[in-house]
Amino acid sequence: MTSVGPELWRAQMDALRDLLSARVPRLVGIYLHGSAALGGFGPASDLDVLAVVEDLPTPGWDQIAQEILAVSKGGRALELSVVRRRDAARPASPWPFVLHVSSGEHRWALGGQGGDPDLLAHYAVVRAAGVPLLGPDPSSVVGAVDRDALLAYLVDELDWGVAEADQRYVVLNACRAIVYAEQGELLSKQAGGRWWIARNGPSDLVAAALDAQTAGADLGACSQHARDFVGAARAHLLTALRQGAPEA
């Protein structure tokens, strides 16, 4: 998979790379993931970044976080996670991290006793399609994520989406979750929606979600139709979990 529209994020990512290169002496790699890597970057897309550092401690993460927020000001919202090399090489619960920065919410968090379960999905996308801003190929830095763990995460993500997110987000996430369950492939929201229509035929629900994603529009809370659609996708994922991985 290749990224699209790098002109929409290149300058911001160059500034972030230069900052981290100057401030983090044990930097292993910086990887763009999410929609910019999967080919679905649009008007409302965030920039998702995973930075991998050596296992030795680096002081001053609070100051580095403030500098990351400063270079992100005026650009796309940034979601950045910093993890240690050993944790990236063997992705596992409790999904520890060193630092998480969210420029959209203008906040950061230092890693502690807990972790960030979202790293499960971040690792999977980085390994499959991550764009190196610095460092070696991501598959040599990030280890494989367990299929069943990712399927269970996708089920939880659908549940969260129905309760908290807008209909566009949830419907397209349901489409691409089914792709992963059936084919083991990680797609952008748009590609997931298009795959679903190609496989199942026209759908006003999915088409409206695709149009909203392209426009960066919020469709509001899920309708009953959308809830039923997501419920069917959820059942599909649970069946895939019970059946295990398909034979090669």
CA 89 to chain centre: 18
> pTM, whole model, 2 decimals?
0.92
- pLDDT at residue 56, as a whole number: 76
Which of 83, 95, 80, 88 is closest to 58 using CA atoms? 83
What does the domain layout of the chain look like in residue ranges? 6-140, 147-243
Q: How does residue 178 score in pLDDT terms, banded at 50, 70 and 90?
A: very high
- pLDDT at residue 93, as a whole number: 93
**Rounded distance between C-alpha atoms, residue 157 and residue 42, angstroms:** 21
Q: Are 133 and 30 in contact (CB under 8 A)?
A: yes
**Which DSSP string corresponds to 10-36?**
HHHHHHHHHHHHHH-TTEEEEEEETHH
DSSP letter for 220, please: -
| Average pLDDT score over residue span 182-211 | 96
Q: What is the pLDDT of residues 37-72, one digit of tens each?
A: 998 887 778 999 999 999 877 778 999 999 999 999
The mean of the pLDDT values for the chain is: 92
Residue given tokens 């492939």 in the structure block: 185
Residue 57's region, left for phi above 0, alpha for psi from -120 to 50, else beta, is beta
Bridge pairing between strands 131-134 and 78-84: unpaired
Q: What is the pLDDT of residues 100-155, one digit of tens each?
A: 999 989 999 998 767 999 999 999 999 999 999 999 999 999 999 999 999 999 99
